Amino acid sequence: MVSTIFASCIGGLIAIAIAVWYHKKKGKSVDGQGNLIKEDMPVKSVKSGEELSKEALTGLLHVNVFVRTNAVPVEVLNLVEKTIDNLKAATPQMIERHPDHDLTYELKEICNKHLLSQLKEFFDMSAKNRDKYMPNLMERLNEIADLIERVKDIVETDEVTEMKVIAGFLETKYSRPMGT
């Protein structure tokens, strides 16, 4: 009887030791350079600042092509060009200086998605609705043009405290549909 209890305890300790060893072994792996890495941590694909800047500039190119191939009023064209110019100046600098900042993310989203979606949404409307929502579009374009001009200035002067405020404003203001 004592030998059975003793054998069970030894077996239990061995099982625990194997479980601990396996858990430690499972969580570690070696990369190509012999460094230990954690397998249970997600691995991000890291893009260089140059690649992110190219993506943003490509997004702006799509906006430019869109406004030039659609019959946009001159005042819309002028505001969009002003915004594109300021985004071209601010976004690569922001990506280089503060790649993980909220404002960097919002600028990339404006370049790649928000500005074009606002314009497409407007030009997908019927002529009657375009007339109705033209003041709304102009207001949004004026706001974003002024704000991006301010962003260009704060990026150049590296005003980090104001960057967070503007990032929050951009997030709430330009990711919603036109009619809201």
The total of other beta-carbon atoms located within 10 Å of residue 149's CB is: 16
- Secondary structure of the chain: what % helix, strand, coil (to 5)? 75, 5, 20
> Residue 25's pLDDT is what?
56
Residue spans of the chain under pLDDT 70 = 1-47, 174-180
> Residue 81's pLDDT is what?
92
User: Domain extents for the chain?
Assistant: 2-38, 49-174
**pLDDT tens digits, one per residue of 5-29:** 655 556 555 656 565 555 555 555 5
Q: What predicted TM-score, i.e. pTM, was given to this entire model?
A: 0.65
> Residue 41's pLDDT is what?
42
> Residue 178's pLDDT is what?
56
> Residue 168's pLDDT is what?
84
> Residue 160's pLDDT is what?
79
Provide the 8-state DSSP code for 100: T
Q: What angle do CA 54, 58, 63 make, to 5 degrees?
A: 150
Residue 6 near residue 14 (C-beta atoms within 8 A): no
Which residue in 86, 62, 69, 65 sits closest to 141, CA to CA?
86
Both tokens of 67, joined, read 């406004």
> Residue 100's pLDDT is what?
87
> Residue 54's pLDDT is what?
86
Distance between CA 157 and CA 55 in Å, rounded? 24
